[in-house]
Structure 1
Amino acid sequence: MLNNFVWKNKTHFIRKSVLMNPLKQGGLDFLDFTTLNNTFKINWLKNFLNNPSSLWNIIPNYIFSKVGGLNFLLLCNYNITKIPVKLSNFHKQMLLAWSLIYKHNFSPHRYYLWNNKDILYKNKSLFFDNWFKNNLLLVGQLFNSQGRLYNYSDFLQKYKIPITTSEYAIVFNAIPSGVSFLLQGSTFPWPCTHSLNLADTMIGNVCFSVEQHKNNSKIRALFQRELMTIPYIIPYWNNIVENLPWEKVWSLSHKYLLTNKVKEITFKLIHKCYPTKAFLKKYKSDIEVNCSFCHSAEEDFIHLFWQCTHTEKFWSDVLLFIQSYFISDFSFCFKDVFFGLFDYSKENIGKYYIINLCFLLAKFHIHKQKFTGSKPLFSLFRDDLDRYIETIQCSINPKAMKTVSLYSSFLSS
């Protein structure tokens, strides 16, 4: 439904995984419902860990205490179906959401014995409360200095905790032979120091840090980073135009206080999905493809916005305007109009700021004239430009104030 809304219930011309990218990576910060839902699950985790004894958390707190508490469980290499407690569907979804972003990469120094999907007894992971309370947490703690598993008497002598032979047999027999073989090559004893604070992990710091507020976008980015894809048009344009600073290209239109319709034109042109007649012919074969302005050549987006005789005359007038008010020896090419100007000296930064704005509004003017059945005219564009400046003149938005100040200073000089 959200994707259909973006495309107004018409054909989707750009993949959803591209729209999910941040603005500076060629996307629209599109809210995918699945990742948004997972973000809410992570926020439930944060609220629970901050208030485990609140009225709403009494029952889940009791349930998770049977496996060492939720904080410890989230650090474990668990499999939801093998956890030795019965969980509600909501809690299963919450644990699944966490496992999607918290990767349990194998490390002998952080390989937990409990709630481990690799260490099973009767197809369920293990948890013995008395072992846990005596700080027996890691598989490595079951090995002696020679890299071999403790026998029963040596284990009792080492840790001095009362355990039965049946518990000992369950735990030690559950250790996979591959893990035992791997740990035999480790150096023992190692300092079995470990933090049980989730905020000490990179993912936990993003999700649970008390200093960060309103960080839904950061949590959502953790889920979306596996789904997002680089726009296919980047390698396409890189073969045609050299040295494009893509992050600046994608961010350019967002430096100004512009309507989404103006930004949309540049966005569609760069993504090669602007609705020219040649583009629409792919979806409807009986469309007449001659240019809306000159009626003598096929209307693709490069012809319409750059090569058409009427468009060329329009850009010539725009060039004279820029040379008259901003830079006398200025010139531009296709690359500058479509992607923006970024290679300039610091003393000219204000002038190029307005020139880039002129290019954005000029492309919108060409688009508007195409759909009103008129030719692009500089006089109309100049009126639109002045009207735009007049519209944002009273705005307190920093982008608007900067634009009005620079535009007025150059045209009055």
Structure 2
Amino acid sequence: MEHFPLFYKEMLVFFNDCKKNKKQFYLNALLKEPLWCNKNFMYKNKPIFFHNWLRSGFKYLNDTVNENGIKPLEWFDDKLICKKNWMCEYMIIKTVITKTFKSYEFSNIRYENIFHGNTSYDLLCKGHVKVCDINSKLIYEILCHEKFIPPLHQAYYGKVFEITKTAWKSIYEQKILSIRDRSISEFNYKLLNNLLCNRELLKKWKIVENDFCVICRDAKENNEHLILKCKNVSHIWDIVKQILKFDISWKTIVIGFYYENNEKTLFLNSIISLIACKIYKYKMYCRLDNKDEKPQEICNHIKSKLNFYTEVYTKIQDKKYAKVMKAIKDKL
């Protein structure tokens, strides 16, 4: 372990922490399990069910236990509506719960009456949590739940574009999950998390001496300049603005339309992301192959992709959006 890299040491520590916390997850989840008709609570190989106890408000394991196990017999005396055969039923419940308590340590759990509806354990599953053996998938879910930190650039965009924390789920759905083309989804993810290559980043890594755009010369090349403001691409966005009939800002390109989730917003996010993606990829292609970046070549590259998408929209009988794409292609 002395020569083990620090990263792997930390991973082992987190893994062991999660194994400890896994039991706590299941203990709390078990207390919120229904007591009746539940395969986790069996008597003579059959789930238990006592109608009078259910009518009296005893629905979950948590309603009948405390840190010492099942609550004493006297505690139920004035709470049961009907006491017919209740002592025998109490002994059966006690036997089942005692068996359960032998497998779990309940001394550190808070015992409160629970309520209907969603719980914090929806992270693990929907509905009732099944008590099962530990597995790697659960360990990973607990690790994500406990150690997840929102991407750093998310906070930056949130401040610059005035986006609330709750809006990010919708943004990721609209810009990544809903986009049918996986290459565009990947591009959007990198854009949202500032993972695209540009000269500003290359200078930071000390790969280039300056961060000025090689085309414009007088402007620093960040993601915004690379995709939106560079002289080689600004005319493309002017054409897109004319066809779509609204202004396209850097905010529109990065986070798109996320207030509504419908066919129109999906199309607008797709077409804007498609053009931004193809501009970026062509520029990177030129740099990797040491080719001169020409405005008309960028247009031709975008036109070839628009032509493909126009055919797709035509085949699925969406002529309205196919017409918009064809209009942009013809203008370019």
Give the TM-score taking structure 1 as reference length.
0.44
The DSSP-based 3-state class of the residue aligned with 1:341 is coil
Cα distance in 1, alignment partners of residues 179 and 26 from structure 2:
38
**CA offsets per residue over residues 44-90 of structure 1, 9 Å max, x none?**
xxxxxxxxxxxxxxxxxxxxxxxxxxxxxxxxxxxxxxxxxxxxxxx
Q: 2:255: which partner in 1?
A: 339
Alignment of 1:385 with 2:306, yes or no, is yes
- Of the three residues 330, 352, 360, the one matched with 2:273 is 360
Identical-pair percentage = 17
| Aligned 8 A contact 1:270 1:338 in 2 | yes
Deviation at 1:340, TM superposition (A): 0.4
Structure 2 counterpart of 1:336, one-letter code: T
1:257 aligns with 2:173: no
Q: CA deviation at 1:360?
A: 0.6
Asked if the contact 1:249/1:339 (under 8 Å) is kept, the reply is yes
Q: Which residue of structure 2 aligns with residue 235 of structure 1?
A: 155
> CA 1:341–1:138 in structure 2 vs 1: closer, same or farther (change >3 Å)?
closer
Residues 171-195 of structure 1 show CA distances to partners (whole Å, capped at 9, x for unaligned) of: xxxxxxx99xxxxxx9xxxxxx9xx
Q: Does 1:270 align with 2:192?
A: yes
Q: 1:321 Cα shift?
A: 2.9
Q: 1:217 to 1:357 in 2, by over 3 A?
A: farther
- Distance 1:267-1:285 versus aligned 2 partners, 3 A rule: same
Q: Secondary structure at the match of 1:281?
A: helix
1:294 aligns with 2:216: yes
Question: Per-residue CA shift, 1:132-186, capped at 9, x if unaligned?
Answer: xxxx9962779898xxxxxxxxxxxxxxxxxxxxxxxxxxxxxxxx99xxxxxx9
Matched, 1:139 2:82: no
In structure 1, give the amino acid aligned to 2:182: T
Alignment match, 2:202 = 280
Structure 2 matches for 1:392-403, cutoff 5 A?
401=316
- Do the aligned partners of 1:318 and 1:378 also contact (CA within 8 Å) in 2? no
Code of the aligned partner of 1:361 = L
Q: Secondary structure at the match of 1:290?
A: coil
Task: Say if 1:412 and 1:369 are closer, same or farther in 2 by CA, change over 3 A.
Answer: closer
Distance 1:316 1:298 in 2: 21
Contact 2:22 2:139 (C-alpha < 8 Å) held by counterparts: no
SS at match of 1:239: helix
Match of 2:130 in 1: 208
Which secondary structure state, in structure 1, belongs to the residue aligned with residue 212 of structure 2?
Answer: coil
Output the amino acid matched with 2:223: F
What SS does the aligned partner of 2:216 have? coil
Counterpart residue number, 1:102: 26
Q: Which region of structure 1 is more displaced relative to structure 2, 382-391 or 136-145? A: 136-145
Please say if residues 157 and 163 of structure 2, whose CA atoms lie closer than 8 Å, have aligned partners that are also in contact.
no
Whichever residue aligns with residue 277 of structure 2, its letter is F
Does structure 1 conserve the Cα–Cα contact (< 8 Å) formed by 2:198 and 2:221?
Answer: yes
Instruction: Please tell me whether residue 309 in structure 1 is matched to residue 231 in structure 2.
Output: yes
Q: CA deviation at 1:362?
A: 0.9
Q: Residues 212 and 219 of structure 2 are in contact (CA less than 8 Å); yes or no, is this contact kept in structure 1? A: yes
Q: 1:100 to 1:333 in 2, by over 3 A?
A: same
Deviation at residue 388 of structure 1 after TM alignment:
3.3
Larger radius of gyration: 1
TM-score by length of 2: 0.53
**Cα distance in 2 between the residues matched to 1:142 and 1:263:** 55
Distance 1:390 1:319 in 2: 22
Cα deviation digits, residues 365-404 of structure 1 (max 9, x gap) = 111221232245445423311223436877xxxxxx58x5
Q: Distance in 2 between matches of 1:352 and 1:142?
A: 57
C-alpha distance in 1, partners of 2:265/2:28? 49
**Secondary structure, aligned partner of 2:233:** helix
> Structure 2, unaligned stretches of length 5 or more?
1-10, 32-64, 75-106, 114-120, 287-292, 328-332
Equivalent residues in 2 for 1:124-135, closer than 5 Å: none
Structure 1: gaps spanning 5 or more residues = 1-31, 39-91, 108-135, 146-177, 180-185, 187-192, 194-200, 211-215, 324-329, 395-400
User: Aligned letter for 2:284?
Assistant: F
RMSD: 4.9
**What is the CA–CA distance in structure 2 between the aligned matches of 1:337 and 1:141, rounded to whole Å?**
60
The CA distance in 1 between the partners of 2:12 and 2:308, in whole Å, is 39
Equivalent position of 2:145 in the other structure: 225
| 2:147 partner SS | coil
Assess if the C-alpha contact under 8 Å between 1:266 and 1:363 holds in 2.
no
Q: Closer, same or farther in 2 for the Cα pair 1:389/1:207, shift >3 Å?
A: farther
Are 1:269 and 1:338, in contact at CA under 8 Å, matched by a contact in 2? yes
